[in-house]
Structure 1
Amino acid sequence: MNQTPTASELRNSLVDDVIMNVSLTRDVERALRTVSRETFLPGVDLKDTYADQAVIIKDNPGGPLALSCASVPSVVAMMLVQLDVQPGDDILEIGAGTGYNAALLAELTRTHGSVTTIDIDPDVALHARTMLNRAGYERVHVRERDGLVGAPENAPYDRILAAVGLWDVPAAWWDQLREGGRLVLPLRWRGQTQSVALTRRGDTLVSDDMALCGFVPIIGQDGERTAALNTDDTIRVHHDEDQAVDADALGASLRGAPVEVLSGQRIGGEESFDGVWLRATAGGDRVCRLEVTPDALAQERILRPAVPGRSPLLVDGDSFAYLIVRRECADPQRPFRLGAAAYGPRAQSLAQDLIAHIEAWGSARTSVARLTITPAKTDAAAGPGFVISKRESRLTLTY
């Protein structure tokens, strides 16, 4: 007779699965096997608690994204590895969520360090405080606070971890991170979000790792815009505030015939090609995100993008090109071929520009961009690389 697995068995099974995709340190693995996630998700079925998926803890009636959730465990683990917590570290977490992540951080910093977690939502902060107390982590400091302000009363910190999506690096955080300290945050630029691990060196943050991810955005940053290309709002372009997008002109071009160009790069069924997007953002200001809904695909309003909900897009005036994937039988190990679909008067040239990004990625598929960030208010000259200016910081990308 089959017995229902215990919480401990499910927890260890989940960590075993995470190890298959994330290279865990011994300390992070120990923390994941120690902290009872079910304590922080009361009322949630144990199988859902220990599935590698996000769990919403507070809905957002006014928008499509939740106000707060428990993040995907494998992403939590990956970011903890990036953070590289040492025993005795003082840590600030932005976005308290369920309190589970703060408990993991408390395990990592052990008894000689400190953990401060903050959340702008009073219900979420209260939930985190209650659950942390219930789990025996009373020493974690929980504050109801705007994450963009941080928690200067316990600063400076050796580590800052953001568990919410950021469009910019808040100026207030610089004074709260020690020299040599690490900042890990889901940072959004040109329509994609990367979990970036950075070390502070004076007035510069320098990355040594990044990985594609997705997070609930922080409240108070609004640097991204959305433009509908058709009247029923089923085809959209998401772009940053410094990018000019003429939705009417692009929508008019969409009614014309598309151009389709294939690259020489092929991929397997489980092989990621997200590096194409990252590569393109280091090469110009024209990169945005294309979103195509199932209704638009069903009505054949547009050639199918590589990932309908989020595909890299190049925009130039009244023309645009985006990533596509086509199945071929030439190579059974890599049966899918990457390419570009484009619309508008400059469709052919834009498609070729996107193909160039695909080929550059294909020549060094595991290469990751180096990101340096400086405060926008500094006079420091940008180093070599492509610069993206935001309200409070400057991003420089190099390969």
Structure 2
Amino acid sequence: MKLVMQVRLLPTPEQAAALEATMYSCNEAATWVSQVAFERGQFKNFALRRHVYGVVKSRWGLGAQAAQQVIKKTCDAYASLKANLRAGNLGRPGSRRHRQATERPIAFRPQGAQPYDDRMLSWQMPDRTVSVWTTYGRIKNVAFTGSAEQLTTLELYRKGESDLVLRDGMWFLFATCEVPEAPLDTDPEDFLGVDLGVVNIATTSDGEIMAGRALNRMRTRERGLRRKLQKKNTPSTKRRLRKRRRKEARRARDINHKIAKHVVAEAERTGRGIALEDLTGIREWVRLRKPQRATHSSWSFAQLGSFIAYKGRRAGVLVVYVDPAYTSRTCAECGHIDKANRVSQAWFACRSCGFVDHADRNSSRNIRARAWELWRCGAQSPAPAPTPRKGNGAGRKRSPTASGARCASPVP
């Protein structure tokens, strides 16, 4: 499996100036290549290269391999745009967002990331340095640092391109690594159901609750601070906003990594698989009141799910996705389904048998039972596609039948 390792570069001022000039030249050249590709309708690497390769080398002083990377970077950007349009991520055809994306060529930021292959970038792992091509020639002995785990993974499994990134005045290299996967456990003893939520980030069928109180409080505070700074709109507030940007995202990402690591370790220790809800499209098929929209939009369930999936693959733990329909309204003891069973955000009380439990714990038990039943039956069909729903969907799950499941790893 492919993983991306991030290490920080520690260049001298002269080295940093050469790297920055190279990044500006490459992105300026990529913007020009994008204009040519847009005018000619040529978005394939080989066809576009005939029109721009010589000009890119002569006008911006790029080497042969750097010019190739600039052209490839432009073609990859248009391929991503095409995929997003096909998936509907940029709105419907004719909408304002769709027109903005299709009616003009792609432009690259002056400090946009620049890909490097092994001909342009070489690693000296024992010395913790890299040698990098720049428009001022090749600069050597650029120091880098990272955690012990990152450096070990780099030394053992690095393969392919690396991206040079300038972020908030700091230089980074994002290196691609081909990490071997552990043998998949295709005969799990049981499943560990995981319910993902906003108030409680994750709740397992073992009864463990990973509360999101601190994260939600921090998000509320950051949202209010951004509002105040944007309203004031002075040079000092703009500097403050730039300094604080991505702080919330970094904090949420760190928490999601820790939760995913803990969940996978528990499943691996007990010989179980992991069962998650397939929440694809949830932002489209629920409607929320205005005070709930910001909280719901900042819910990073997809990121946590992806972390659990890739960490599970590394550990050989099976990850199964089940249909989330009515998991929050179904009694884990008797199977009775009723909207009134969910008496509040925190509590579940069955109207049929009187069973009372924490609402998220009850949902996670339903997820576990659904995954185990489907796995025993050998179900391989994907979960049904989400459909738009009308009305207030704050506490509503998807309505189709709960007969579908999909796996993050092949079914035996």
Greater C-alpha radius of gyration:
2
Question: Which structure is higher in helix share?
Answer: 2
Report the TM-score range of the alignment, normalised by the length of the smaller protein. Answer: under 0.3
The TM-score with structure 1 as length reference comes to 0.24
Question: Which structure is higher in strand share?
Answer: 1
